[in-house]
Structure 1
Amino acid sequence: MSRDTDVLVLGGAGVDTIIHVPELPLPYADSYMIEDGVRTRAGQTGDFVALGLTRLGLRTHHLDLLGDDPEGDLVRALHKDHGIALTAVPQPLGTKRAVNLVGPDGRRLSLYDSSRAADGDRFPETTVRTLAEASRHAHASITQPCAHALPVLAESGVTISTDLHNWDGENPYHEPFALAADLVFLSTTALPDPESTMRRLAERGRAEAIVATAGAEGAYLLTDGSLTHIPTVTPPAPIVDSNGAGDAFAAGFLFGWLNGEPPHRCAHYGAIAGAYACTVPSTRADAITRADLMAGAAENPL
């Protein structure tokens, strides 16, 4: 069977409107003057993972629901401009969108428009199967249609990764993703006991590696029953925004993983890619190149 695609990314396509605010949380006021402007650009979690993988030289295909609307046009243009293959399933409710409030320190508060998704959202099974059977690996965003695509992905023989984002360790919605994935990414933001949650997932699921990113504290890698700390890497430029750092980490890790690198080196690549993402203003979509990743690894050896 030919596997002409390195990574099939499922879900997570959409558009963000970026508003830089003077502080977070934002105190109540009748109005604020936004000197940097209010800007809208394509790029949500699946888009950023697909972009990150493509910039690292991996053959990437993105599958998601898109509306016939201006937001959908922005997503299509992003993929065309960066040479990312895209299969867009029609979404009558419209393309996913969000508003991101970004503070001076780069932290963000995301407001997601949940009206553009429905419980009945599905990818056509034949489409998922055909794309998966042509891929080496699948990365599933935690959006509704991806949950129902997990059994088809498993049957296709691809390895699977997912990002649980700011899961609290209890919400049952995330569990099917966590238990079906060979690689699990998540944030420590809402976890009272990250190590306990990671070990529980390892015991119940099939994950060979679990990575919990912890912002400025680095990340934690659980593999073969051993938990290790992955330190941060000094960014190549000033930090301006944390938006997309977790997606960049996942792309860097997957680059190493699909090239046969050991988990610790994969996580190091993720840290380098995540640090680069923090130097990119949230008003544009960009990711580290393969050459810059290798240069960063040489400058920051394990």
Structure 2
Amino acid sequence: MSTETDVLVLGGAGVDTIVYVPELPLPFADGYTVPRIETRAGQTGDFVAVGVSALGLRTHHLDMIGDDHHGDLVRTLHRDRGIALTEVPLPGGTKRAVNLVGPDGRRLSLYDDTRSHEADRLPEEKVRALASVSRHAHVSITYPCSFALPVLREAGMTISTDLHNWDGVNPYHEPFAHQADLVFVSTTALADPERTMRQIVERGRARTVVATAGADGAFLLTDGELTHIPPVAPPGPVVDSNGAGDAFASGFLFGWLAGEPPQRCGRYGAIAGAYACTVPGTRMDAISRDELLAREAELAKAPAAQRPGGAEPAGAGA
């Protein structure tokens, strides 16, 4: 099948308001003076689209967007980055969130879930047409993307998704977890990450599951074996963790779609995620292909004992 798109990103378009606060959690007070408050386009699907595009993959983004100022920010982002965008009207208005960012780069995201409604759908004909000319789909867990999963599966393409801070129980995430070939999830809310990762494989289609653990790196389950992906040192001061998980997914996808070994894909993800932590959340910068490959080459030359991404077995309940 000839394709014109490497990665079709579904969902996750929106606008964040970034607020840098003196500490997290933020103690109650009548008011705070903060260094900056800025509203910019960029939620999970936008970050992945920017990330894989910066790595040289032909990218197309499909989502529901409001006919409003915030939707204009999303449209401008894609136009300025040269990323194809197919938008469907979202009657409730463009999705929004407020992100509080502490001095150490940690963030607290407040997501407005009133923008989507039960009747919202990505038109099946649009999904089918884009899927027919795309190699791979990365599906955000934003509503109503789960309804598009059967169409993507019928098209015969591979699918990835990011469950973010799933607790391993909430049924909303299950269609994504069980229909994707490659699943990302954060360990943040998981009582037993290894158990959840293995259940995703047992109950769904995934053969590879990656659980990101922030500064502790990530865990990779593939072919039944669980290994640890050590973290990579950021190339500069850590200022903001916004988009780090999406950057990790973008780097991993870059390697995965190129047929690279899973551990190398993990190093790509760790490198991209570390880079993202050095970028203020008010910007939408992603690591370039040349920089990613150069950094990975440096790590590959390091002694095995010091090499991030080595096939290091992970303990139970990692």
Normalising by structure 1, what TM-score?
Answer: 0.99
**Within the alignment, does 1:28 sit opposite 2:8 as a pair?**
no
What residue in structure 1 maps to residue 304 of structure 2? none
**Within the alignment, does 1:63 sit opposite 2:62 as a pair?**
yes
What residue in structure 2 maps to residue 141 of structure 1? 140
Return the offset for 1:120. Answer: 1.7
**Residue identity opposite 1:147 in structure 2:** S
1:73-152, aligned counterparts within 5 Å? 73-152=72-151
What residue in structure 1 maps to residue 196 of structure 2? 197
Q: Secondary structure at the match of 1:296?
A: helix
2:226, 2:257 → 1: CA distance? 22
- Conserved? CA contact 1:233–1:300, under 8 Å: no
- Conserved? CA contact 1:140–1:146, under 8 Å: yes
Q: Cα deviation per residue 1:5-50 (whole Å; 9 max; x = unaligned)?
A: 000000000000000001111100111111x221011000000000
Q: Which runs of 5+ in 2 are unaligned?
A: 301-306, 308-318
What residue in structure 2 maps to residue 16 of structure 1? 16
2:276, 2:37 → 1: CA distance? 21
What residue in structure 1 maps to residue 181 of structure 2? 182
1:224, 1:2 → 2: CA distance? 29
Q: Cα deviation per residue 1:206-262 (whole Å; 9 max; x = unaligned)?
A: 112000000010000000000000000111111111110000000000100111101
Q: Secondary structure at the match of 1:239?
A: coil
- Indicate the RMSD between aligned Cα atoms, in angstroms: 0.7
What residue in structure 1 maps to residue 209 of structure 2? 210
**Residue identity opposite 2:226 in structure 1:** L
Q: Secondary structure at the match of 1:104?
A: coil
Return the offset for 1:300. Answer: 1.3
Q: Secondary structure at the match of 2:75?
A: helix
Identity of aligned residues (%): 73
Return the offset for 1:192. Answer: 0.6
Runs ≥4 in structure 1, deviation > 3 angstroms?
A: none
1:222, 1:37 → 2: CA distance? 40
Normalising by structure 2, what TM-score?
Answer: 0.94
**Residue identity opposite 2:238 in structure 1:** I
Q: Secondary structure at the match of 1:19?
A: strand
What residue in structure 2 maps to residue 236 of structure 1? 235
Paired residues, number: 301
